[in-house]
Amino acid sequence: MKKASFLLCLFILIATSVQSQQKVNISLKDFLEKVRLNNLEYAAEKLNINIADAAIESAKVFNDPNVAIGYGSAEIYGMKMGSSVGIEVSKTFSYGKRPAAIEYAKSERELTKILLDDYFQNLRAYATSLWIDVIKKQRLFDVQMSTYQMVRELVAIDSLRQVEGWIGEIDAKQSRVEAGIMYNELLNSEVELQHAYLNLTNVCGVSAADTIIVPSTTTIKHVRQFNLSELLREAPSKRADILAAASGIDLSEKGLRVAKASNNTDFDIAVGLNLHKEAKNEIAPSPFHRDFSVSLSIPIPISTKLYNGEVKAARSKIQQAELKYKSAVQVMETEIIESYNNYLKLDKQLKSYSNGLLINAKDVLDEKKTGYRKGDTPFLEVLDAQRTYDSILIMYFETMYNKSEALVKLEKAAGIWDIE
């Protein structure tokens, strides 16, 4: 009766923390699709494409023509010298600047798109890691819950044996103490699991106030065979950050064209029309007439020839972009090799647990439990066997999920994705 009441209180406590939240079980594929569609930070990053499009529109702006209207008078009091009205249309021509700016803006947009892909690749790997963390915590919680229930059964048996005089009060207290310790550990694990659910829910843009995302499976498929040489060869064309570094070189080259075009000489062309009113003075009379004017204004490019810092800076930026690309490739190769070796190591460790270690520990525990029920095995021996089995089982689960995490890191490093 005490056992039933105790477990009932535990489950009421767990249920109360999420009583106002609906649990939604979804697959990893559907979860990642929610992340792609609803993640708020990713949605904000996607607006960079709109900003880049606006920058292209801004680069298409050209020099507008100018219109000047003037009035002149040569009037001397009483001599009727006449007056004039003039209009002039002028425009500044910038050779090569506008096309260079448009090409640069288009390259910036392409780089922005690649960086957005890189952001999503990182987000997808991060979200999958959260998924793995949740199912790992769920498995460990289930192990602790199973052990706790077993210990409560032994506590109930010890209570009956104490009443019947088979064991002393100290032995019965010892079993209750062990059960209390496990209960506290179970509560801590349950809280950690709920926090992991919240993180999983938040990353896919769902409000945790009324909905909790729960994985519909406790494993991901991580049986993969990789060829290291193939991964290293193909990764530069698949990893978005490497493609972004390569695009950075192209952008720097376009920047050099912009810098060179900025040194091109601008020139102004103006066309004017003047209307002169009839002058009726006796000294120099003139009829109504008009005249036209065309002018060309070309600055002398002294300073641009003496000081070409923009061009020098643009050339240095190209060299800088090339070095950054080479550095990014080196970092990528290191990440792939380290992730590959770690994945193989964890694969071997996981197989070692499957080669009889878990089975043997479970057989020992079952024998101890059978002996305890017959009265031949002390409680502490059963507890030690249970702890040994739990320890091996926990290490097995941790290795299994660490291998899943290693798979995520390896595929992210190689720029591929086929995780289910």
Please count the other Cβ atoms lying within 10 Å of the Cβ belonging to residue 375.
11
User: What pLDDT does residue 261 have?
Assistant: 85
User: What's residue 387's pLDDT?
Assistant: 83
357 lies in a domain? yes
- Number of domains into which the chain is organized: 1
Residue 59 lies in a domain: no
Residues 6+ apart with CB under 8 A from 56: 102, 105, 106, 109
Q: Could you tell me which residues come within 8 angstroms of residue 191 by beta carbon, excluding any fewer than 6 positions away?
A: none
- Does residue 72 belong to any structural domain of this protein? no
Instruction: Report the amino acid identity of residue 134.
Output: V
Q: Which residues of the chain have pLDDT under 50?
A: 1-18
pLDDT value for 13: 46
In a domain, 103, yes or no: yes
Q: What is the pLDDT of residue 17?
A: 46
Distance, in Å, from the CA atom of 390 to the CA atom of 346, rounded to the nearest integer, reads 20
- Domain around 155: 2-38+95-265+309-414
Alpha-carbon 370 to chain mean position: 53
- CATH code for position 337: 1.20.1600.10
365 CB-near residues (< 8 Å, 6+ apart) = 382, 385, 386, 388, 389
Contacts of 167 (CB under 8 A, 6+ apart): 158, 161
